[in-house]
Amino acid sequence: MSLFLCLFSLALYSAGSLAAPSPSQNIILRDLAVPRFFGAAANTTFLFHDVNYTKVIETQFSIFTPENEMKWESIEPEPNGFDFTAADEIVRFAESVNAKVRGHNFMWGNQLPPWVNDTLSATELDRALKNHITTIMDHYRGKLYSWDVINEMISDNTPNETFKDNIWTQKFGEEAMPKALTYARAVDSQPKLYINDYSIEGINSKSDALYSVVSSFLADGVPVDAIGFQCHFTLGQIPDTLQENLQRFADLGLDVAITELDINLMGPSNATALEQQAKDYWTVVNACVQTKRCVSTSVWGVSDDHSWIPNGSVLPWNAEKQPKPAFYAIADAFEGKPEP
């Protein structure tokens, strides 16, 4: 550009005739996160159908979790009738932007197709589980970084009970989780095998129960590589033992990851609330950064208008796909800067 044109452009910019460049344009969170991953739940309802969503998701993230596309009701809606269409779209997209994929999930009590029900005998359900895991892992062999093999199986009523009462524990009892993990490892030795859950982020009776279960698995040779901490939080409610808790699971020789992070304002999206939300995001990401074996932080969605929580303004981008204070706080945490 000539000196004249450069000065002319600066004059226009100063006069307000040109739009100011967004300060977020040069911030790429996936780059700042290295050697960790920064991820998001990806959803084919919006991918390529919402231009601004697609622009953010293809730029900012280095790992994706299919939000619904790999859940049992979506991927095997009929017995041995697999539909990989939507899940394949996310895997191809991830490959196109040099990102990894976390498979999600195999054993969960929710979002099961009608045919997976308690009329199946234990033998029939066992056969269905093994076939489900084997077929899907074979399909994605060499393409996925990890799998949430187990999702939300620890009871909310600890210490009175350890496992949730669902079809898996009703049929298999305490052998439910080891079955799924063993079947998964038998298919493919490469992907990291995760147990993923909520309300285990701080040191409490539920995380204590999981810690005990995982310790026994490791002692018994049950294959488990990592723990996923969902981190669906309410504003100002980050447990002060988050980092300590991540570390104690890491000390077992496991990877740990923040897998489904969002922070619900539970009220108006005003400056005060957004400031606290930014601090909360910083706190969570910083806890991961400070834990050597914390391999990734993923938000559950991308922008507020496409969140599973429709009215909580829970994500780092607003409905217009513009970065919120939380976005900059995440960047600060990855860069080792102090709390905003």
Active-site annotation holder among 260, 275, 320, 335 = 260
Burial track 156-191 (b if 16+ CB lie within 10 A, e otherwise): eebeeebbbebbbbebbeeebbbbbbbbbbebbeeb
Q: What is the token pair recorded at 135?
A: 């077929």
CA-based torsion, 78, 80, 85, 91: positive or negative: positive
Task: Specify whether the CB–CB gap between 324 and 278 falls below 8 A.
Answer: yes
Q: Which helix (H) or strand (E) holds 284?
A: helix 271-289
Instruction: Give the whole-angstrom CA distance, residue 42 versus residue 63.
Output: 9
Instruction: Give the whole-angstrom CA distance, residue 226 versus residue 193.
Output: 6
Q: State how far the alpha carbon of 79 is from the alpha carbons of 103, 120, 238, in Å.
A: 20, 12, 41
Active site residue 69: no
Catalytic residues: 260
